[in-house]
Structure 1
Amino acid sequence: MSILEQKQFIKSIHPFENLNKSQLDKFAENIDITYFKANQTIQKAQMKPTHLYFILKGMVQEKSEDEVLSIYSKNEIFDAISLIENFSKHEFVTAQETICYELPRQIFIETLHQNSQLESYFFQSISDKLNNHISHEKNKEMANIMIAKVKDAQIHKAIVLDTNKTIFEAVKTIKKEKIPTLLLKDENGEMYVVTDSDFREKVILNRMDFDDKVIKIASKGLVYINENDFLFNAQLTMAKHGLKRVIVKNDENEIVGILDQISLSSFFATNTFSVSNQIVKAETVEELKKASLSFIKIIKSLNAKGVKVEFISKLINQLNKKLLDKLYKLLAPKDLYEKSSLVVMGSEGRGEQILRTDQDNALIIDDDCEIDEKTLKDFTEKFTETLVDFGFPRCEGNIMVSNPYWCRKKSEFKNLIYEWVNQPSGDNFMNIAIFYDAVSVSGNKELIISLKEYLFKVAGNSQTFNAQFAKVISSFDVPLGFFDGFVFETDDKEHKNEIDIKKGGIFIIVQGIRSLSLEKKVLNINTIKRIQKLNELGILETEFAKELSMAFNFLTNLKLKSNLDKLDKKEKIDNYINPENLNTMEKDLLKDSFKIINKLKKQLEFHFKLNYV
């Protein structure tokens, strides 16, 4: 290889792309190429290592006595940890003819201490590596946005007038102060807001007297946010409440200004707010459908700009809830809406569905609701078909409000829950799982909460039930071989050399955490929030909880990235990825994630005594 090719090769291996020019030159000047025969020992155990090795060709095994602990192949390095500790715990032996670059330990250690990014990488935990990788892969500008605070944005000055001021006086103040919004405060301390659009739409169009008090056109119900909160949370709050502005307070609870949607435009280049506003203002199903068609565009834009998958998930989840609530209000008979709860279940209920896969919804009806069977049937069928038209595919398992099994009175759901718990079967455990993940998106939220509390009561503290519920995890294998190689699909020709990361990774985390949460009667629905709650309860150690959260987000991000690529190619979205399409670091982190999941499986097997079920 030429010097240029050597440099390109070194930079292609993470984290050495962070070397500056002089450091890269130093590496290139000091590396030598070396050849090893098959079964040759490169580095002995219990010895001080001398070099860092970059594999150009071949395979190297890390061994403890006769046990193979790990395998390294082309475009990988070994063993930085031994060099840092100046002691090799294990032996490194070639499994076949191998060619490497070798870099003297002294050069590596000197560079490590000079380069903070390298030092940070080699001294961090698996969970930190997973977290930092997501940031590493994303747009640097957006990374700064994700940590930007509300006070970093343009905040309009807050001018507070008393409620006795006239419309004319208020307009003069707006002009003088050059602000779009005024705050009003009455004698009881109640706060109100008046915007420039209020003057146009309420005063001029209604031909109001300019000497009328400005309180007549003001609105109350202000939403506040702290100036030290993240700017992205401000956008989530605006999207959630359908607002154009929030009132900013400091740590002393004093109003310091007003943050509006325009101020966010320089930070977020998506039309999230306008879509949210479209949903709120929609008066027909067609208007609502038009808003829903923008979701994919928002997802692509946020992902391209580097927004972390958990934030995209939160934002899309808020929009989905708003969409379903509005659709339910538009289509449901009034008597039904006031005495029912529309719930979504599965990944959508957990707030983890980003791209639309299929419908998972149910309708819980209050026992004293009087609605005839035909009216109910006509509505539920129309609701399901409308969602299909909106781009929400019909559920293959028929878990939809149009299926009478998932549309019934509260007391009938209680009977179902009792049956699910006391008549164990695969279908009943699946029903418990999806129902436990349910969240109300419209109507009376207390209906679903009371049914979950009934589920906790019926399941009780039965170790047998909890073990049987968790047992399904044993049926799913993590696609990682004994020697850290990926295990591919063998029976599916369509997905040859691919991995189902939902079946082999995401599902195991979701069901494992769900099983522990159900046992501990945790009401949290989202997997990450359940992990945090289990950590608070002392069920999961802090570091392991952190690793699980990062592994879950990493796998979810890989799945989203893969499916967005398939959407662009007009291919069917699924749960499969090809490791060959990943870079070296992504492969390593995928292996690390699978190791974390294997650790979870072992803990669950011990906790629930699954080997005895």
Structure 2
Amino acid sequence: MSILEQTTFLKSIHPFENLTKAQLEKFAEALDIVYLKKDEIIQKQGDEPENIYFILKGLVQEKHEDEVLSIYSNNEFFDPISLIENYSKHTFVTAQETICYVLAKEVFIKTLRENSLLESFFFQSISQKLNANINNEKNKELSNLMVAKVKEANVHRAIVLPYETSIFDAVTTIKKEKVPTLLLKDDENKMYIVTDSDFREKVILNRMDFDDIVGKISNEGLVYVNENDFLFNAQLIMAKHGLKRVVVKNDNDEICGIIDQISLSSFFATHTFSVSNTIAKAETIEELKKASQSFTKIIKSLNAKGVKVDFISKLINQLNRNVMDKLFKMTAPKELLTNACLVVMGSEGRGEQILKTDQDNALIIDDNCSLSDEEILKFTHEYTEYLVDFGFPRCEGNIMVSNPYWCRRQKDYKDLIYEWITQPSGDNFMNLAIFYDAMAVNENRAMLTELKEYIFKIGSTSKTFYMHFAKIIMDFDVPLGFFDGFVFDSKNKEHNNEIDIKKGGIFIIVQSIRTLSLEYKSMRLNTIKRIKELQEKGELDEEFASELIEAFKFLLTIKLKSNLEKMDSGEVIDNYINPDNLNTMEKDLLKDSFKIVNRLKKKLEHHYKLNYV
């Protein structure tokens, strides 16, 4: 490449567009080019690195032991942190044939000291780079948060009282309406504002009479923003005027709310602790519903910041269970609180459902509970309707507490489990699989544990049961052809040129690992934890277990990314992805993941002799 082509290449990679013309030319003159074979180690953990690498073509993995931490592809670079710290914390190895530009450490470090923008970028980014790989695509998603509108944040209701209202009545209103701020209007329609801190600092400290006029402690000079204004503009206005809150108006110039600094912070940060705290303190079903509806915002924020999908699913799963438990405590008959175990099942039970796709829940009732079946079913029907209102869609298969099949006494569940295992059928295998993944939502988990142990007891008497239980994976084909091309279902006209990533990958991993875990009588629920346990027991070797975990995470990540894009465009979320919407690196990783799924499928075929079942 010519010097011009090299400088153009460097300028296209953030943050090297901040180099001066002279620095760019110096970089270009110092560049060497290297050709690397697949599986070639470029830099080992513990090395004192000598170069920074810019990838022209290929794929490089950053690894810690066998775990892949990050992947670098065309027009990306690595590893400035190692150069700055003079120590490589991880190993860098090619995943395919790779061509790189190489820049000597001395040139990079010298330029870093001379260019404050470059120095600022790398020293501010070190902690982030060590914890997460924030790629360009996720940065774009994060920047989208900056164009969010005021109305998308938590805008408090505007309560307007007469200026002459007593302090006592004003405080009573704040408590009743659960708002931190009141607006006041005098006889000339002039507006004032009074906050909860005004009551603390002006009324109590000055020993004011509670029957005095609240207008005396109010503030005038309100500042307004439009609900369709950008959130960051509201933040700038607050900073400019030294305010903690501004009043929100709609396009008709009517006051429709108040937004404060806490609301802004909650929007731009994940603020999961605040949400969890809101759930715990919720006193009404409406407050609980509002907290539940903030989860999608949290998911988008975490995903945009590059947080790994398994952490997101773990966090959202916990928040979902907190909501369900609180709703159960709010609405269930008193006797059920101590005599029933509410469980979530399927992907929710495994902690792998991120976006709310459907309800999979059940109720286990103590045999001695005195409530009638009619009383219980009346409650479970109401409970399901509340969850639907909260945004948890109905289960198309009717696997919900409102279905009497999934709401029964403990002894009846044992009869059901016995039937599932001893009378093999597609439905019985599906029900057992769903229930095996069950997780207790409330405190009475001992009831669920007893039923799981009963599954192990009955299942252990039938070796052929596991063979039939695993065989369902043979009904699903991995959508990868002989020459590594994607295979599409030509019969599915609605999803032409799309892949069902659940059937073709995620389900095969889940069901295969679930079957092995069931045979080992494991109480683990999460697929990744089950894989690690199977590795500890010697059923999976360390390398294959690591590959399975990475493939599973990647498939979940691609599915989440696709569904978030569909949500933003108003489409229905589903399990289909279009490979054409993936970049080159993602396509290659998807193919690699499918190859790993195929290997797992073949292992199960051999382990359970599925070709003979």
Residues 171-182 of structure 1 mapped to structure 2, 5 A cutoff: none
Residue equivalent to 1:355: 355
Structure 1 residue identity aligned to 2:314:
K
2:127 to 144, 160, 172: 144
DSSP-derived class of the 1:545 partner: helix
User: How far did 1:133 drift?
Assistant: 3.2
DSSP-derived class of the 1:396 partner: coil
Q: Distance in 2 between matches of 1:143 and 1:367?
A: 58
1:132 to 43, 66, 70: 70
Q: CA offsets, 1:561-595, max 9 Å, x none? A: 11111100011001111111111111111111111
Q: Distance in 2 between matches of 1:491 and 1:396?
A: 23
The answer to whether the 8 A contact 1:292-1:390 is kept is yes
Structure 1 residue identity aligned to 2:544:
F
DSSP-derived class of the 1:452 partner: helix
User: How far did 1:452 drift?
Assistant: 0.4
Q: Distance in 2 between matches of 1:6 and 1:117?
A: 11
Residue equivalent to 1:449: 449
User: How far did 1:493 drift?
Assistant: 1.5
Q: 1:489 to 1:10 in 2, by over 3 A?
A: farther
Give the CA RMSD over aligned residues: 3.9
Residue equivalent to 1:589: 589
Residue equivalent to 2:277: 277
Residue equivalent to 1:416: 416
Structure 1 residue identity aligned to 2:576:
Y
Q: Which runs of 5+ in 2 are unaligned?
A: 18-22, 42-48, 78-120, 133-196, 206-261
Residue equivalent to 1:523: 523
Residue equivalent to 2:602: 602
The answer to whether the 8 A contact 1:142-1:307 is kept is no
Residue equivalent to 1:512: 512
Q: Distance in 2 between matches of 1:484 and 1:435?
A: 36
User: How far did 1:126 drift?
Assistant: 12
Q: 1:276 to 1:564 in 2, by over 3 A?
A: same
1:81 to 35, 38, 63: 38
User: How far did 1:117 drift?
Assistant: 7.5
Structure 1 residue identity aligned to 2:554:
F
The answer to whether the 8 A contact 2:535-2:541 is kept is yes
User: How far did 1:374 drift?
Assistant: 1.9
Q: 1:29 to 1:533 in 2, by over 3 A?
A: closer
Q: 1:571 to 1:11 in 2, by over 3 A?
A: farther
Q: 1:461 to 1:530 in 2, by over 3 A?
A: farther
Question: Which sits farther off after the overlay, 365-374 or 326-335?
Answer: 365-374
Q: 1:287 to 1:533 in 2, by over 3 A?
A: same
Residue equivalent to 2:468: 468
User: How far did 1:8 drift?
Assistant: 7.1
Q: 1:130 to 1:541 in 2, by over 3 A?
A: same
DSSP-derived class of the 2:441 partner: strand
Q: CA offsets, 1:542-578, max 9 Å, x none? A: 1111111111111101111111111000110011111
Q: CA offsets, 1:150-197, max 9 Å, x none? A: xxxxxxxxxxxxxxxxxxxxxxxxxxxxxxxxxxxxxxxxxxxxxxx9
Residue equivalent to 1:566: 566
1:290 and 2:290 aligned: yes
Q: Distance in 1 between matches of 2:420 and 2:59?
A: 48
Identity of aligned residues (%): 62
Residue equivalent to 2:386: 386
User: How far did 1:4 drift?
Assistant: 6.1
The answer to whether the 8 A contact 1:339-1:443 is kept is no
The answer to whether the 8 A contact 1:360-1:399 is kept is yes
Q: Distance in 1 between matches of 2:26 and 2:453?
A: 61
Q: Distance in 2 between matches of 1:604 and 1:126?
A: 29
Q: CA offsets, 1:410-457, max 9 Å, x none? A: 000000000000000000000010000000001410011110000000
Q: Distance in 1 between matches of 2:323 and 2:125?
A: 27
Structure 1 residue identity aligned to 2:407:
C
Q: 1:122 to 1:315 in 2, by over 3 A?
A: closer
Q: Distance in 2 between matches of 1:594 and 1:369?
A: 49
Q: 1:357 to 1:341 in 2, by over 3 A?
A: same
DSSP-derived class of the 1:399 partner: coil
Residue equivalent to 1:94: none
Q: Distance in 2 between matches of 1:23 and 1:475?
A: 59
Structure 2 residue identity aligned to 1:339:
N
Residues 179-190 of structure 1 mapped to structure 2, 5 A cutoff: none
Residues 64-463 of structure 1 mapped to structure 2, 5 A cutoff: 80-81=37-38, 114-115=51-52, 122=60, 131-133=69-71, 144-145=127-128, 269-460=269-460, 462-463=462-463
User: How far did 1:5 drift?
Assistant: 6.8
Which TM-score applies when normalising by structure 2?
0.63
Q: 1:379 to 1:406 in 2, by over 3 A?
A: same
Residue equivalent to 1:65: none
Q: Distance in 2 between matches of 1:482 and 1:492?
A: 21
The answer to whether the 8 A contact 1:501-1:575 is kept is yes
DSSP-derived class of the 1:132 partner: strand
Q: 1:341 to 1:21 in 2, by over 3 A?
A: farther
The answer to whether the 8 A contact 1:300-1:564 is kept is yes
Q: CA offsets, 1:320-361, max 9 Å, x none? A: 111000000001001011101000000000001100000000
Q: Distance in 2 between matches of 1:294 and 1:546?
A: 34
The answer to whether the 8 A contact 1:421-1:458 is kept is yes
Q: Distance in 2 between matches of 1:403 and 1:143?
A: 52
Q: Distance in 2 between matches of 1:386 and 1:510?
A: 30
User: How far did 1:274 drift?
Assistant: 1.5
Higher relative contact order (CA 8 A, sep 6+): 1
Q: Distance in 2 between matches of 1:27 and 1:589?
A: 33
DSSP-derived class of the 1:424 partner: coil
Structure 2 residue identity aligned to 1:81:
K
Q: CA offsets, 1:485-506, max 9 Å, x none? A: 1112211122111111111011
The answer to whether the 8 A contact 2:61-2:68 is kept is no
Residue equivalent to 2:576: 576
Q: 1:585 to 1:371 in 2, by over 3 A?
A: same
Q: Which runs of 5+ in 1 are unaligned?
A: 31-50, 53-78, 86-111, 150-196, 206-261
User: How far did 1:296 drift?
Assistant: 0.7
The answer to whether the 8 A contact 2:60-2:72 is kept is no
Q: Distance in 2 between matches of 1:131 and 1:571?
A: 32
User: How far did 1:373 drift?
Assistant: 2.0
The answer to whether the 8 A contact 2:345-2:435 is kept is yes
Q: 1:581 to 1:9 in 2, by over 3 A?
A: farther
Q: Distance in 2 between matches of 1:408 and 1:536?
A: 36
User: How far did 1:314 drift?
Assistant: 1.1
Structure 1 residue identity aligned to 2:417:
I
DSSP-derived class of the 1:442 partner: coil
The answer to whether the 8 A contact 1:309-1:557 is kept is yes
User: How far did 1:460 drift?
Assistant: 0.4
DSSP-derived class of the 1:133 partner: strand
